[in-house]
Amino acid sequence: MKIITSLGAGMLAALALPAAAQEAPRGEPNVFEGDHLTVGVGVIYGPSYDGSDDYVLSPVPVLQGNFKGVAIAPRPGGVALDLIPDARNARIGFALGPVATLSSNRASQIKDPVVRAAGKLEDAVEIGANAGITLNRVLHPYDSLALSADVKWDVAGAHSGRTISPTITYTTPLSRAALVSLSASMRHVDDDFARYYYSVSPAQSTASGLPRFDADGGWESWSLGMLAGYDLSGNALDGGFSVIAIGAYSRMIGDAADTPYTSLRGDADQWTAALGIAYTF
């Protein structure tokens, strides 16, 4: 689901509550110093395809951590790596590395019979790069403000296009156990992507009864979201289990909103909720 994809870069990485652990008191155990790993699983309730007004449940695995100076950040259906290690307690951090995801938009779980009659699409394997900058200690010693972007290309021959997803995220702990993250993002798509997902070809029109539509690339959507996380031991620094909840809103714009898949059969307003649990060690 696109809304979680566009917000995931800044928000799902907070599963392990790392912001709360940026500056642990000296001598106190801190699982986030050195190598660590967070594995988790969640359930997302969101649109059955980008622009749908039907909602479905989908499982999502999460992997986050740091190994030998390489940071691992979750992406829905994939992962991103940060190859630039930041110094401990750095005021400014930088991120740069590869990103790879699997997108199944309109490849499964299509509940609308008219959209389903237009035909299922193929899974897209999107590979590219992510880059970002993080400012730590913005309003107090433990918060952060991050600006990042993913640029990806489909290499599986599905849409064969390119997407750019900039995201800004503010993360702050509320206590040693609780954290909140607020995020805003947009997504820009090229003509190949737009034609594949939002055009209605003559064959699709005949099969579904939808009017023909020729889509062009451009800004496709914007999104707002909030994540709340809580470490079940009461102390994020000792690792263990944590739970998260996500609520997000996305608005389709441009041809992504005008396409009959959205304007006639769906809704430009997209809502998503997610619950998850993770373990850090």
CATH number, domain at 79? 2.40.160.40
- pTM value? 0.91
Contacts by 25-32 with C-beta closer than 8 Å and gap 24+?
28/237, 29/237, 29/238, 30/237, 31/237, 31/238, 31/239, 31/280, 31/281, 32/66, 32/237
Amino acid at residue number 39? V
Cα distance between residue 201 and residue 217, in whole Å = 16
The region of weakest confidence among 11-20, 103-112, 164-173, 265-274 is 11-20
- Tokens of residue 261, six digits: 């898949």
Domain of 39? 2-280
In this predicted model, what pLDDT tens digit does every residue of 181-205 receive, in sequence order?
999 999 999 999 999 999 999 999 9
End-to-end CA distance of the chain, in Å? 29
* DSSP code of residue 266: B
Is the per-residue pLDDT at 9 higher than 80? Answer: no
Share of the chain above pLDDT 90, in %: 81
Q: What is the pLDDT of residue 6?
A: 47
Place of tokens 């947009």: 186
Q: What is the pLDDT of residue 5?
A: 47
* DSSP code of residue 33: S
In this predicted model, what pLDDT tens digit does every residue of 30-76 receive, in sequence order?
888 889 999 999 999 999 999 999 999 999 888 899 999 899 998 87
Q: How many structural domains is the chain composed of?
A: 1
Cα distance between residue 42 and residue 47, in whole Å = 16
In this predicted model, what pLDDT tens digit does every residue of 78-96 receive, in sequence order?
999 999 998 888 999 999 9
Contacts by 52-57 with C-beta closer than 8 Å and gap 24+?
52/110, 52/111, 52/112, 52/115, 52/261, 52/265, 52/266, 52/267, 53/265, 53/266, 53/267, 54/111, 54/112, 54/266, 55/271, 56/109, 56/111
Is the per-residue pLDDT at 268 higher than 70? Answer: yes
Q: What is the pLDDT of residue 130?
A: 97
How many CB atoms are closer than 10 A to CB 251? Answer: 16
Instruction: State mean pLDDT over 162-188.
Output: 96
Instruction: State mean pLDDT over 206-221.
Output: 98
Is the per-residue pLDDT at 147 higher than 60? Answer: yes
Cα distance between residue 232 and residue 198, in whole Å = 43
Instruction: State mean pLDDT over 153-171.
Output: 97
Instruction: State mean pLDDT over 224-252.
Output: 94
Q: What share of the chain is helix, strand, coil (3-state, %, to 5)?
A: 20, 50, 35
Is the per-residue pLDDT at 119 higher than 60? Answer: yes
Cα distance between residue 25 and residue 83, in whole Å = 27
Smallest CA-to-CA distance from 34 within 5, 69, 81 is with 69
- Structure confidence at residue 2 as a pLDDT band (50, 70, 90): low
